[in-house]
Structures are given as structure tokens and as C-alpha cells.
């Protein structure tokens, strides 16, 4: 009876957090970005835009094989080897997403300076293509390669739309999309309020960066606690599995069920904690 109550309680908690963990999109299916495009955006933000998705998938398979083999050699427990292989397959994705978030957080402090640079260039009488091209030489060092590509593409084709689309693909950032679409609209329809719009956008970006930095600093303990809480039991389990008697016990059906259930609980709990402690990310514009 107590086991049934525990199962029902767990299902109730899972249903409670499921709307936040797996929100239902209100967009039509045709408007949702495809998984491959999202993967390319993450790779581009991490500085790996030239890496093919097939090669990245092959790397994930290789990491799965290596981690599974190491766990099998260290413990001899079949379930732990399978779990280690799954963790190894997810490791490249986790690292790339972490790198993407780090680059994006660092870039948030660059975009107000980029806007100020564009305002100065526009006020000095330069056209929009020339104003953007100046960022290849005087912009933030981390963003100069992307703007160098814009300068090269525009100089070769003379097509502002094509150069902007390629620049958006290289940057793969919602803030960059917002700035570049503002510039594209100003070039297409004209108007004399571009500098005022850019100043307002720069002020908003500074306020947003300051607020997000403060909130993320306060919520970082939630994510760190989730990582520690998930990793600690598995480190202890790996240490216990190195003993022959423990390995033989975990190789039974009951041991496999115990490890599988613990793995499922760990994954659900970690995703719930990370979802609670992470701020929502802005989606790209016209990507």
C-alpha cells in the first residue's frame, strides 16, 4: 500500500511540473523551427558553425562507446555501462549548449556598444552597409569575424539583404536579429528616426543585461544545487560498484531495476530544477 501511495505521489508531482518542463507550443506546426535548424544555431553560437551535424552525431556516438567501455571496465555492471553510454552520448550536446550560453551571456554586454557604434557611424553620414562594415575593425573583438564576413559578402555581391541574412546566420543571436532587422527595415522604408530608435534599443539592452545578470547570479545556486544533488549519488554508486560483491548485486534484476529507477528520478529531478532556475530565452527573429 505504501508503495502505491509513493507511486501516485510521484505521478502527481510529475504532472504538476510537466507544464513547465514540456510546455505546449501555441505556434502552428509549420511555424516551429526544425530541430536541425535549432542545432545549427546552437553550434553557430558556440563557434562551431562549420561543423556538420553528421560529424557532431558521430562524435556523440564515439563518446557513448568510450564512456560505456570505461564504465564496463571499471565496474562490470551492465546497467551502469548503459547509463554511462547514454551520458557519453549526451556529453557533446551538453558541452556545446553550455558554450553557447556562455558566449551568449558574454555577447549581451557587447550589443549596447555595437548599437552605440552604429549610431555614431550613421550620424557621421555613412550608409547602413558601411556602418555595419566598420564593426569589422572597431567592434568588439569577439564579434569582428562575423562582421568581417558581412563586409566581404557585401563587397562581393553588393546585395544588402543577402549579406544581412548571412550575418544573422553567423551570429545566431536574438539580439543581433533585432538590431539587423531594424536596420533592414530602415533601409527598405527609409525614415529619419533610425538614430533615436537605435538609442532606445541600446538603453533597453543595457537595462535587460543588468537585470538578467542580477537574476542569474541569484538563481545560480539553484542550478548548482541541482547538479550537486544529481551527481553525488552516482559518484557513490560508482565507488561501490568497484567492489566485486556490490557489482554482482547490481548485475541482478533487482539491482538493474534499482539503478534504472534512480536514473529516471535523477533525470526528472534535474530537469525540473534547471527549468525552475533558468530564465526564459528569447527566440530568434525571422531566422
Following DSSP, what letter does each residue of 90-145 receive, concatenated? Answer: HHHHHHHHHHHHHHHHHHHTTHHHHHHHHHHHHHTT--HHHHHHTHHHHS-TTTHH
Read off the pLDDT of each residue in 212-217 and give the average, rounded to a whole number. Answer: 77
Triad 95, 98, 99: Cα angle to 5°: 85
pTM listed for this prediction: 0.62
Residue pLDDT, tens place only, 41-72: 777 777 777 778 888 888 888 998 898 888 88
pLDDT(31) > 70: no
Is the pLDDT assigned to residue 30 strictly greater than 50? no
* Nearest in space to 17 (alpha carbons), one of 267, 276, 223, 229: 276
Mean pLDDT of 64-92: 86
Q: Range with the lowest mean pLDDT among 40-49, 106-115, 119-128, 207-216?
A: 40-49
pLDDT band (50, 70, 90) for residue 286: low
Contacts of 202 (CB under 8 A, 6+ apart): 111, 112, 115, 116, 119
For residue range 181-208, what is the model confidence (pLDDT) as tens digits?
888 888 777 666 788 888 888 888 888 8
Amino acid at each position: 500500500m505504501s508503495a502505491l501511495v509513493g507511486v501516485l505521489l510521484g505521478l502527481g508531482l510529475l504532472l504538476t511540473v510537466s507544464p513547465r518542463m514540456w510546455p505546449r507550443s501555441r505556434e502552428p506546426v509549420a511555424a516551429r523551427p526544425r530541430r536541425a535548424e535549432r542545432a545549427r544555431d546552437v553550434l553557430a553560437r558556440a563557434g562551431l558553425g562549420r561543423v556538420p551535424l553528421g560529424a557532431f552525431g558521430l562524435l556523440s556516438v564515439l563518446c557513448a562507446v568510450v564512456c560505456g567501455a570505461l564504465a564496463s571496465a571499471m565496474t562490470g555492471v551492465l546497467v551502469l555501462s548503459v547509463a554511462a553510454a547514454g551520458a557519453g552520448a549526451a556529453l557533446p550536446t551538453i558541452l556545446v549548449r553550455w558554450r553557447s550560453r556562455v558566449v551568449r551571456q558574454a555577447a549581451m554586454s557587447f550589443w549596447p556598444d555595437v548599437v552605440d557604434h552604429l549610431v555614431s557611424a550613421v550620424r557621421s553620414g555613412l550608409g547602413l552597409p558601411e556602418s555595419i562594415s566598420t564593426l569589422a575593425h572597431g567592434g568588439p573583438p569577439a564579434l569582428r569575424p562575423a562582421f568581417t564576413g558581412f563586409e566581404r559578402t557585401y563587397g562581393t555581391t553588393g546585395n544588402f539583404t543577402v549579406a544581412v541574412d548571412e550575418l544573422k546566420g553567423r551570429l545566431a543571436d536574438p539580439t543581433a536579429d533585432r538590431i539587423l532587422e531594424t536596420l533592414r527595415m530602415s533601409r527598405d522604408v527609409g525614415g529619419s528616426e533610425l538614430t533615436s530608435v537605435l538609442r532606445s534599443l541600446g538603453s533597453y539592452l543595457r537595462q535587460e543585461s543588468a537585470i538578467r545578470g542580477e537574476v542569474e547570479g541569484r538563481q545560480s545556486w539553484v542550478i548548482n544545487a541541482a547538479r550537486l544533488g544529481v551527481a553525488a549519488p552516482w559518484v557513490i554508486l560508482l565507488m561501490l560498484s568497484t567492489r566485486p560483491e556490490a557489482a554482482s548485486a547490481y548485475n541482478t534484476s533487482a539491482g538493474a531495476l534499482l539503478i534504472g529507477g534512480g536514473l529516471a528520478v535523477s533525470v526528472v529531478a534535474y530537469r525540473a530544477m534547471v527549468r525552475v532556475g533558468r530564465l526564459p530565452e528569447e527566440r530568434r527573429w525571422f531566422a
